[in-house]
Structure 1
């Protein structure tokens, strides 16, 4: 059984875990695809969850085939995304605030580790009203490899000055859980899309409905 006494720090993913951004990205990719006369099915877009943007573009390029212009797709999707979030903002996922309040009260260190680039991560946090909440943020452009490689989480643990094997890593995607598992962390999942495959579930200490549930399973 995992207890708070076993935990030195908590590492949060951002997209789909702290922020409800995955649906906004899928919408932007879908609309950019339509503008380029490409039909990107929902099941295909959902499978991109947790990947870095360069991996997303490579995967979409492979799906669309010869003649696809990833630079134009990136431009169109970015413009569509910014129009959407400028009008609607970005929602914070359920349970984040209660978990963060607990970590602050107990003096448990935490940070953000995301496959997004630094500029994008900061923009998203500001739009969600979370600017300045994380004193330590590790982003894709700070490491050689993005998730599902373990680099981001290893760097996050080093930045916090703790051993990775005593870090809970909170993730919403299979790629993120794979990265946490490969890093030697304590993976916990709050999925942003269902179902979750059996191999991913097997790597998790817990699978939650939302972040607030961690307090219940850890404190029982």
Structure 2
């Protein structure tokens, strides 16, 4: 058996990292806005990546105006998203299943830590065929503050019974990388949109194109600076 990597546990983000939900959300948001007589650019929708829904709503009001009907928008977008997801499912990002298989085989514990609500997490995992894949989960319902605050990662580390500085946090967005840095975890950025956010790239500890690359890195005994080892 190869030597254990320097980290003791792994914490996964959900949207954009485990599941390719970002593209489905963007499509639903743009269709809903168009139906209401508004236009949302793709770049604006991509800027919402990783944000808690309250922050998403605040940005929508800033762009569409204070009189923008958030309730109608949410209903319209939700109906559009659900129709698409129920018809086609939600794609799993490349390398996720292989990485989970490796971690299980090596006995390395892992958890999910997301800004999404628990009900939405359950629905998305079911639609992607990953129900039961993450036995440990921390959602926005479980903490006082969502990302970019570190609460979800700190709670996940507690569930994993592992010091957060020994956790490898996998993220796709600037919001998540900021939260990981605040928590004191080793952060890996796997961008879900192109071009890569330069601020996220500068803040993360490691930048990789996908989870296949992460698995290859781990299998080579993770020869990177071990600044977070306790």
Task: Tell me the distance in 1 between the aligned counterparts of 2:102 and 2:130.
Answer: 17
Task: Tell me the distance in 1 between the aligned counterparts of 2:127 and 2:170.
Answer: 21
Tell me the matched-pair count: 218
Map of 1:148 onto structure 2 = 148
Post-superposition shift, 1:4?
Answer: 4.5
Map of 1:108 onto structure 2 = 108
Map of 2:159 onto structure 1 = 159
Map of 1:12 onto structure 2 = 12
2:208 corresponds to 1:218: no
Q: CA RMSD in A?
A: 1.2
The range that moved more, 81-90 or 61-70, is 61-70
What does 1:21-100 align with in structure 2 at a 5 Å threshold? Answer: 21-100=21-100
Task: Tell me the distance in 2 between the aligned counterparts of 1:58 and 1:103.
Answer: 38
Task: Tell me the distance in 2 between the aligned counterparts of 1:178 and 1:195.
Answer: 18
Provide, for residues 6-47 of structure 1, a one-character-per-residue CA deviation record: whole Å limited to 9, x for no partner: 211000000010001000000111011011111001111111
* Structure 1 unaligned spans of 5+: none
Task: Tell me the distance in 2 between the aligned counterparts of 1:66 and 1:114.
Answer: 28
Map of 2:205 onto structure 1 = 205
TM-score by length of structure 1 reads: 0.96
* Structure 2 unaligned spans of 5+: 221-230
Task: Tell me the distance in 2 between the aligned counterparts of 1:205 and 1:211.
Answer: 15
Structure 1: 4+ residue segments shifted above 3 A = none
The range that moved more, 197-206 or 60-69, is 197-206
Provide, for residues 78-136 of structure 1, a one-character-per-residue CA deviation record: whole Å limited to 9, x for no partner: 11100111111101100011111110111000011111100000000000000011111
Confirm or deny: 8 A CA contact 2:99 2:211 kept in the other structure. Answer: yes
Task: Tell me the distance in 1 between the aligned counterparts of 2:5 and 2:34.
Answer: 51
TM-score by length of structure 2 reads: 0.92
The range that moved more, 189-198 or 136-145, is 189-198
